[in-house]
Amino acid sequence: MNYRSILGRGFWLLALLMVLAMAVAVAGCGGATDEPADEPTEPADDPADDDDDDDVDEPADDGPKELTIGYYREFTILDPHMSSAGLDSLALRAVFDRLVEVNSTEDGEIHPALATDWEVSEDGTVTTFNLRDDVTFHDGTPFNAEAVKFNFDRIMDPETASQSAVFGMGPYVETRVVDEFTVEVEHEYPYGPFIRTIAAGSYGMVSPTAVEELGDDFPQNPVGSGPFKFVEWVGGSHVTLEKNEDYTPVVSFNRDEAYYDEVTFRFIEENSTRAAALQTGETNAASNMAANDFVRMRDTGDFGTHVYTTLGGPPGGIQINVSKAPTDDVLVRRAIIHAVDSELVRDVVYEGIPEPSGGVLSRHDFFYNPEAGEMYDYGNMDKAHELMEEAGWIMEDDGKRYKDGEMLEIKYLTLPGVRNVAEVVEPMLTELGADVEIWALDNPMQQNTAQEGEHNLVWTQWSSNDPSAIRGRWHSENIGSGWNFYHYSNPEVDELFIEGERTTDVDERKEIYDRIQYILMDDATIVPLNNVAIMWAFDPEIKGWEPADSTGWFGFVLNLHE
Amino acid sequence: MAEQIRTKDIVAGDAPTRTPFQLFWREIRKHPGAIIGAAMLTVIILAAVFAHVVSPYDPVKPDYSVRLEPPSRDHLFGTDTMGRDVLTRIIYGGRISLWVGIISVGIAATSGIVIGLASGFFGGWTDEVLMRIMDMIMSMPSILLSLTIIFTLGEGLVNVMIAIGVASIPSYARIVRGQVLAARETAYVEAARAAGAGNITIMFRHILPNVIAPVIVMATLGLAGAILSVAALGFLGLGISPPTPEWGVIISDGRARLYDAWWIATFPGLAIMFTVLATNLLGDGLRDSLDPRLRGR
Amino acid sequence: MARYIQKRVISALIVTLGVSFIVFMMVNLLPGDATAVMLAEFGATAQEQAELRRQLGLDRPLMVRYWEFLTNALRGDLGRSLFTRRRVTAQIFEQYPATLRLALAGMGVAVLFGSIAGVTAAVNRGKLFDTGTMFAALLAVSMPSFWLGLIFIFFFSVRLGWFPTSGSATWRHLVLPAFAIGLRSAGVLARLVRSSMLEVLRQDYITTARSKGLSERIVTWRHALKNALIPVVTVIGVQFGFLLGGTVITEIVFARQGIGDLIVKAIFSHDFPLVQGGVLVLAVVFVFVNLMVDLTYGFLDPRVRYD
């Protein structure tokens, strides 16, 4: 290779390349994504004192009060009707308000918010809401019955392709505007869950004018009536909100106005990094911490800590496929439930912080049935062995159980994120005498495999306000193409699910769901593990972490103060 | 370069004074790096094969009484969140890395050889089409390609092997094709053809031997890349089912514990480095000794 | 020459098309789809999921969707992400600067350290410095970059506090990741530069220069280096491709924004439009870079044109 003829060119090319590379790299940095810390100041506010929270010493400076939260994931979408992820909920509740609100910490009761009161017709099909008359959206549009109709219709609109809000609307017929501040919502048949589900973050009321004007760009420029206004969303980096000075407080158990003038959510996905950012002062709070980081921060004593825990739905458990051997035998299933020492799982994986699950529903849930949740003596290995023997599976010398010449094989399906739970459970099953195979697949593949029923066990978790959500899991209509990974088909339970949705009488519903829980636990369909515990750490001056919103997983940004 | 090959061919094909192996052995002794690399690899392979002898602990069974212990005399590399001995897990993990690495390189090399031979030999449309496909594979970052393949095929070591192997096929194909193109024109081959030898014969008896040497070098060096890729995929949590102690998986587990149990993430990385270093040393030595141009340095 | 350019450009186009097809097929043949991720938390019924699928257009035949994808892509519309509902092109444009910065910074590190190491090693051939540097280079090539990244974070960020742990805002955030990917390429380059230099140094015109009495330093820097670096330039083009791939994992370890991070997350959540669009863009960039390298090569070395 002879390049004598081009002496010199190579060198300059190289030098140029190097200089170019460095220059672009360095120059590009400073400008594009600014640190949120140095935002233009707003005139200093008087600290709000028309609420009854404790006031700690206010910081002496008159600058704007800013809060930076190290958040565990980037928001998916800030349009409440299109969002499906609980993680968006924290921001959605800051920018939007809903017709009703649920206080998950105290009573789990439904409180008025944008609606002052409501009543259900005799036949249960029409719910009439009386609305507040003193609320405006961030863009000045007044909040009224027309707006509510617009919102509900938008949720139902196929164009919106709503990922969660639409499912809670039930057998929706239409919304009628009665007068400026009264609406009627009609359902085909009485739909009990309705009033609870609309407290969820995905039912935030959006400004009709803004949606019409912005169309597809609305999700990037959300306009609601909540305590914070949207400022910007820098993809991959952060979301910034600013205080809504004209906010009309609508929820009695929350603050009347925000303490902070500006709130920034910085997305830091890596757990240890998020914790480190709090330690170094880059952020004031760290959300969804890993248990070991949380404990470490807690033990230093330099930080405040708070644990949120779920209310509705089985927060975390292992579903058992009742249609595939060997778990098609109820005795085997009961043995498995006894064999799994959920307390050990909680201790090893989550440092003992979460609470035990109630089986089908969380122990904090309004509809929880203790008889069902405490049916088994979890972690009792002896009982487990006993049940297996009774079922005809005999332990051989190789440590495995056999019946009719077949070895006890269990296939355990899990998600990559909770691999460690599987790793702790697996030896317990091995001790029971099973040959365990673990598959860690992502969500869609998990669903696919589980739908085909190739598994015996599958890890699961979800959240919801209303127990009707468990229908999606246990109703036989969802076998093979939905989320009924149990492949459970029990006509009595199916009937009960339908009944539970059709009545709006709370006592009736309680009875129904009590019975459902009892049957499902008696049939040993799920191995209860633990309530999901969401752990936060923060600068010690920051308060206001309770109450929790209707997911039970987050508080309200509105309530945070120093 | 063409000159060199001709000479070598004649020497090797006619009356050799020494067998190719003897020539090779004489050469490789000049490269201590290769010897060291081979020695290191031997240690690793032996440790992996005789894992149960080398380490007294069980790699998957938990022992909650010794969770998260720092390195000590009992546990040279400490223990992890479930009380498992890290050193043991690393030794067993070596099995997987080597196994997957070797097979995926095998897949890549054999496919590459076949494609390269076909492409170089038949030329024309075959060549065009095959090379375009190779280009397509090469224009995706290999990790994304492997990721997507694993997602499509699902979990399992075999799928990991395929995912990693496929991404490397183009390099082998190109090298082989290059060699074929160069060798095709040599007087030696023309003579054989004039003598009436068929295509297949020419391909296998005359061209293939030339191709083997660079492929072996590439494969050894490719093994290094494959091991790194397996670790990367394991780190992302793909393809390996728990509780298998793959090196990347252990690092990923250790990542969450970097602050209070640094040993879990550190040592597997060193193991990877050691193994990859070994293959690189060996590969380098092989390349230097087999490349005629560099002889006499 | 013109024919050569034409040939190369056409094959570049074919390759890009092929990649779009392959990626589309692979992504869409994945069992299970994005609706599973969307609804997992909610526990919707089968019917509801089917409805959502229909609304998102995921139930139409594969070829129809591919055709739509292709025709739109040619007009610059890569569709919308299934989750964020934003335009794929918008998200990619937002993220690529960060990746580009990382790749360039990494390359800067690689070129700087690699060439200096290589040159000084060549000049000091045989001595301890040479062996030491080459061994270091070999080590650099043998390290898994994600592990190196973690170690860096542990030492320089947590223990020493010199650099921030994550994010992408300032130049400080770039240092550790740049080294994490750059060092490996630096090792490759160091070895290459060294061997290239050695070869050049042996050649006649260098001996001539020496015999003319020019100082060793001038010989090294002015004459030898220029020529030694020429083959290196082409390797840089290839290394850039590796760097681009390397940014994927580095972005994840350092929690930086970037295309790699975007695409990996999209793959995990089966956000098809994002995966298709993202990989297509990456492939186009790669093909383009290679095309440029090929053309430059053809320009520099006439023999290549008659391949």
Peptide bond before A547: cis, by omega within 30 degrees of 0? yes
Kindly list the residues from chain C whose CB atom is less than 8 angstroms away from the CB atom of residue B272: 142-144, 147
Question: What percentage of chain A exceeds 90 in pLDDT?
Answer: 25
Residue B274: pLDDT band with limits 50, 70, 90: very high
Q: Average pLDDT over chain C, rounded to whole?
A: 79
The yes-or-no verdict on residue A130 having pLDDT over 90 is yes
- What is the per-residue DSSP string for A336-386? HHHH--HHHHHHHHHTT-SPBP-TTS-TTSTT--HHHHTSS-TT-HHHHHH
Nearest CA-CA distance, residue C200 and chain B, Å: 13
Residue ranges of the domains in chain C? 95-306
- Which chain C residues are within 8 Å of B139, Cβ to Cβ? 15-16, 19, 283, 286-287, 290
B286 pLDDT above the threshold of 70: yes
Beta carbons of B207 and B189 less than 8 angstroms apart? yes
Rounded average pLDDT over A169-191: 91
Q: What is the pLDDT of residue B3?
A: 43
Band (pLDDT 50/70/90 cuts) for residue A6 is: very low
| Torsion sign (Cα): A225, A231, A232, A238 | negative
pLDDT digits (tens, 9 = 90+) for A193-231: 888 888 888 899 999 999 999 988 898 889 999 999 999
Cβ of B140 within 8 Å of Cβ of C248? The answer is no
Q: Greater confidence, A512 or A469?
A: A512
Could you write out the DSSP letters of every residue in A529-543? -B--EEEEEE-TT-B
Q: Does residue A393 surpass a pLDDT of 60?
A: yes
Write out pLDDT tens, residues B173-208: 988 888 888 777 776 677 777 777 666 676 667 677
Tokens standing for A357?
A: 């699950």
Least reliable range by pLDDT among A201-210, A354-363, B262-271, C173-182:
A354-363
- B184 CB burial (10 A radius; 0-12, 13-18, 19+): middle
Kindly report, residue by residue over A328-372, the tens digit of the pLDDT.
Answer: 888 899 999 999 988 888 888 888 888 888 778 877 777 888 888
- Kindly tell me if the per-residue pLDDT of C188 is higher than 80: yes
Quick one: pLDDT at residue A502? 81
Name the pLDDT band for A106 (thresholds 50, 70, 90).
Answer: low
* pLDDT category of residue A265 using cuts at 50, 70 and 90: very high
User: What local confidence, expressed as pLDDT, does residue B6 receive?
Assistant: 47
Give the pair of three-digit tokens for residue A133.
């008359």
A450 touches chain C (CB under 8 A): no
Q: How far apart are CA B92 and CA B87, in angstroms?
A: 9
Residue A455 carries which DSSP code? -
Comparing alpha-carbon positions, the chain A residue that sits nearest to B235 is: A416
Residues 6+ apart with CB under 8 A from B246: B93, B96, B97, B230, B231, B234, B240
Each residue's pLDDT tens digit, C276-306: 888 888 888 878 877 877 777 666 655 555 5
CA atoms within 13 Å, Cβ hemisphere of A28: 20
Q: Is the CB of B67 inside 8 Å of chain A's CB atoms?
A: yes
Average per-residue pLDDT for chain A: 81
Q: Is A462 in Cβ contact with C44 (below 8 Å)?
A: no
- B68: contact with A, CB 8 A cutoff: no
Residues 6+ apart with CB under 8 A from C269: A442, A443, C34, C37, C83
Position B279 confidence tier, pLDDT thresholds 50, 70, 90: very high
For residue A44, pLDDT beyond 50: no
Band (A438; pLDDT cuts 50, 70, 90) = confident
| Model pTM score | 0.81
Q: Which residue has the higher pLDDT, A20 or A203?
A: A203
**Average pLDDT value for residue range A394-410:** 86
- CATH fold for the domain made of B31-55+69-294: MetI-like fold (1.10.3720)
| Cα-Cα-Cα-Cα dihedral sign, residues A10, A11, A14, A20 | negative
Inter-chain touch B148–C143, beta carbons under 8 Å:
no
Q: Please indicate whether, in this complex, the C-beta atoms of C18 and B132 are within 8 angstroms of each other.
A: yes
Q: Mutation test of the interface with chain B: which of C135, C150, C251, C285, choosing the one with the most B Cβ atoms within 10 A?
A: C150
**Closest residue in B to C260 (Cα–Cα):** B144
Q: Do C46 and A482 touch (CB under 8 A)?
A: yes
The nearest CA of chain B is from the CA of C18 a distance in Å of 6
Nearest Cα to Cα of residue A470 among A498, A449, A447: A498
pLDDT of residue A38: 33
pLDDT given for residue B200 in this prediction: 66
Residue A176 dihedral angles phi and psi, to the nearest 5°? -120, 135
How far is the alpha carbon of A271 from chain B, nearest alpha carbon, in Å? 7
Using the predicted structure, report yes or no on whether residue C123 has a pLDDT greater than 90: no
CA torsion angle for B274, B280, B281, B284 (degrees, to 10)? 180
d(CA C140, CA C138): 5
CB-CB contact of A67 with A94 (8 Å):
no
Q: How confident is the model over B151-182, as pLDDT tens digits?
A: 777 777 888 999 999 999 998 998 888 888 87
Q: Is residue A14 pLDDT above 60, yes or no? A: no
Lowest mean pLDDT among A444-453, A492-501, A523-532: A444-453
How much is the average pLDDT of C63-68?
Answer: 84
Chain B hits for C26, CB-CB cut-off 8 Å, are 148-149, 151-152
Q: Is the pLDDT of residue A461 over 80?
A: no
Query: Do A25 and C174 make contact, defined as CB atoms within 8 angstroms?
Result: yes
Cβ–Cβ pairs < 8 A, chains A and C: 232
Determine the pLDDT at residue A262: 94
Q: What is the mean pLDDT of residues A42-68?
A: 51
Predicted confidence at residue C303, as pLDDT, reads 56
What's residue A79's pLDDT?
92
Q: What is the mean pLDDT of residues A310-331?
A: 79
**What is the average per-residue pLDDT within A102-114?**
80
Give the confidence band of A22 by pLDDT, cuts at 50, 70, 90: low
Task: Report, as an integer, the average pLDDT of C257-286.
Answer: 83
pLDDT (mean) for A56-85:
79
Q: Where are the domains of chain B?
A: 31-55+69-294
Amino acid B223: pLDDT: 93
Chosen from C125, C142, C195 to mutate, greatest number of chain B CBs within 10 A: C142
C84 touches chain A (CB under 8 A): yes
Chains that touch A (3 or more CB pairs under 8 A): B, C
pLDDT at A53: 37
Beta-sheet pairing, A435-440 with A409-414: parallel
pLDDT at A154: 93
pLDDT score, position C168: 64
Asked if C15's CB is within 8 angstroms of B143's CB, the reply is no
Which is more confidently placed, A478 or B103?
A: B103
Size of interface B-C (CB pairs under 8 A): 124
CATH topology of domain C95-306: MetI-like fold (1.10.3720)
Q: Check CB contact under 8 Å for B259 and A296.
A: yes
Interface membership of C255 toward A (CB under 8 Å): yes
* From A271, A348, A438, residue closest to B82, measured CB to CB: A348
Instruction: Name the percent of chain A lying above pLDDT 70.
Output: 87
More confident residue, C4 or A69: A69
pLDDT > 60? residue B296 = no
What does the pLDDT look like over A508-538, one tens digit per residue? Answer: 888 888 888 888 888 888 888 888 888 999 9
Task: Say what the pLDDT of residue A260 is.
Answer: 93
Is residue A276's pLDDT more than 50? yes
Report the gap between the CA of C18 and the closest CA in chain A (Å): 26
Q: Does A348 contact B61 at a Cβ distance shorter than 8 Å?
A: no
pLDDT value for A497: 86
| Closest partner CB to C83 (pick from A32, A76, A158) | A76
What is the spatial distance between Cα B148 and Cα C248, in angstroms, rounded to a whole number? 14
- Is A401 strand, coil or helix? strand
Specify the pLDDT at position A58: 46
Mean pLDDT of C57-82: 83
Give ipTM to 2 decimals. 0.81
Label residue A539 by pLDDT band (50, 70, 90): very high
Residues 145-174 of C with CB under 8 A from B: 146-148, 150-151, 153-154, 158
Q: Which residue has the higher pLDDT, C17 or B191?
A: C17
